[in-house]
């Protein structure tokens, strides 16, 4: 049996998976409120103690966490714990345990996803020997490089979401000036994420969208902007949303060039499945390929959105099985 986890700031998914040659099979998957537990070890022990499967023999474990993992430890943003592979191993009776960045976990899942769990944005022509890249806009902008090794993707962690955003148009340059005045710098995550869409909307409206009540929490702004833009109900929301989609395409193209992603570009995270019509209207792909003299190369790279919301947990199970 394999134990997999996807540890987030608000909720944590934990699962027991049966090993299988094509992909691990989930037998017991449950969601926990992260902060109800005092530590990752305690959370995993609660999960195992309350499993309907009874006492199980866990052969290996892997948990994906938001943030960099260094020497088997991670400090988490939004969670007042540090976590370690040692405490994970303790909680499962000493079996091999691995803590990985959440995008590394998701990257392990890419190889085993079925066609119906992806939405193709650009068919391209996948090079079976080529590398891939992964990016996931959500609370931040997670990234990973997928290095092809022995016929499968080996994910390499990245903190590329914190690299500098490169503006391409006068409007983006004006936005970058606005961001720098407000936040001191313009990293890609402050454009291509949920909060990034909130920043863009603040910029295009000159404040809060007039369709929203004045006491609207920041976290409610991005879903409003997407929905209002797609429904054509507010011009400033529409502009913010189009800037967002185009910037995301351009940033994905930059990452694809860094990794020479002829094997595929994969878009994960919570936002893309909810804004598919906006990603499929041509703006994303146009921004992705518009990097002369590399336009033809970028046009051959397959691009797909990951639709399975539990792909990160599945990837952690794959990671555990590969130990």
> Residue 54 CB: number of other CB atoms within 10 A?
6
Is 305 a binder of Zn ion (CB under 5 A)? no
Nearest approach, Cβ of 223 to Zn ion (angstroms)? 12
Q: How far is the CB of 198 from Zn ion (least distance, A)?
A: 12
Sole window of 4-12, 165-173, 204-212, 303-311 interacting with Zn ion (rule: CB under 5 A): 204-212
Q: Is residue 234 part of the contact set for Zn ion (CB under 5 A)?
A: yes
| SS3 assignment, position 107 | helix
- Strand, coil or helix: 168: coil
Give the torsion sign (CA, 238, 244, 249, 253). positive
Segment interacting with Zn ion (CB under 5 A) among 81-89, 131-139, 202-210, 278-286: 202-210
| Chain-centroid distance, C-alpha 298 | 21
Of 209 and 317, the one with the shorter C-beta distance to Zn ion is: 209
Is 197 a binding residue for Zn ion by CB under 5 A? The answer is no
Strand order in the sheet with 97-101: 25-33, 11-18, 2-7, 60-65, 97-101
Interaction between residue 236 and Zn ion (CB under 5 A): yes
CB atoms within 10 A of CB 114: 9
Specify the stretch interacting with Zn ion by CB under 5 A; choose among 40-48, 126-134, 147-155, 203-211.
203-211
Judged by beta carbon, residue 199 or residue 254, the one nearer Zn ion is: 199
User: Which of 3, 136, 145, 237 forms a contact with Zn ion (CB under 5 A)?
Assistant: 237
Nearer to Zn ion, 61 or 236 (CB): 236
Q: In the structure encoding, which two tokens stand for residue 74, read together?
A: 């991670």
- Verify binding: residue 221, Zn ion, rule CB under 5 A: no
CB 201, min distance to Zn ion, A: 7
Distance (Å, rounded) from C-alpha 226 to C-alpha 219?
13
Instruction: For the CB of residue 135, give the shortest distance to Zn ion in the complex, in Å.
Output: 26
- The DSSP-derived string for 38-69 is SSHHHHHHHHHHT-TT-S----EEEEEESS--
Query: Contact positions toward Zn ion, by CB under 5 A?
Result: 209, 234, 236-237
């Amino acid at each position: 049996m394999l134990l997999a986890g996807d540890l987030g700031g608000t909720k944590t998914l934990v699962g027991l998976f049966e090993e299988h040659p094509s992909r691990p099979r989930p037998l017991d998957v449950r969601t926990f409120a992260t902060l109800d537990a005092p530590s990752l070890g305690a959370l995993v022990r609660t999960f195992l103690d309350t499993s309907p499967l009874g006492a199980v023999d866990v052969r290996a474990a892997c948990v994906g966490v938001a943030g960099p993992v260094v020497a088997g430890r991670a400090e988490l943003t939004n969670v007042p714990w540090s976590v370690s592979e040692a405490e994970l191993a303790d909680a499962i009776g000493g079996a091999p345990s691995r803590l990985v960045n959440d995008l590394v976990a998701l990257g392990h899942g890419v190889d085993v996803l079925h066609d119906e769990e992806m939405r193709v944005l650009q068919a391209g022509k996948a090079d079976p020997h080529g590398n891939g890249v992964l990016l996931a806009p959500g609370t931040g902008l997670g990234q990973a490089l997928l290095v092809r090794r022995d016929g499968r993707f080996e994910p390499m962690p990245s903190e590329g979401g914190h690299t500098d955003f490169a503006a391409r148009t006068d409007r983006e340059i004006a936005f970058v000036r606005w961001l720098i005045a407000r936040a001191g710098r313009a990293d890609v995550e402050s454009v291509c994420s949920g909060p990034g869409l909130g920043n863009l909307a603040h910029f295009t409206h000159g404040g809060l969208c007039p369709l929203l009540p004045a006491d609207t929490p920041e976290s409610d702004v991005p879903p409003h902007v997407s929905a209002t833009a797609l429904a054509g109900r507010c011009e400033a929301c529409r502009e913010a949303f189009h800037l967002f989609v185009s910037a995301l395409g351009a940033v994905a193209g930059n990452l694809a060039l860094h990794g020479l992603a002829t094997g595929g570009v994969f878009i994960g995270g919570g936002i893309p499945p909810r804004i598919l019509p906006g990603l499929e209207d041509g703006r994303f792909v146009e921004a992705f390929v518009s990097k002369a003299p590399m336009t033809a190369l970028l046009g051959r790279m397959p691009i797909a959105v990951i639709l399975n919301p539990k792909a990160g947990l599945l990837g952690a199970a794959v990671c555990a099985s590969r130990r």
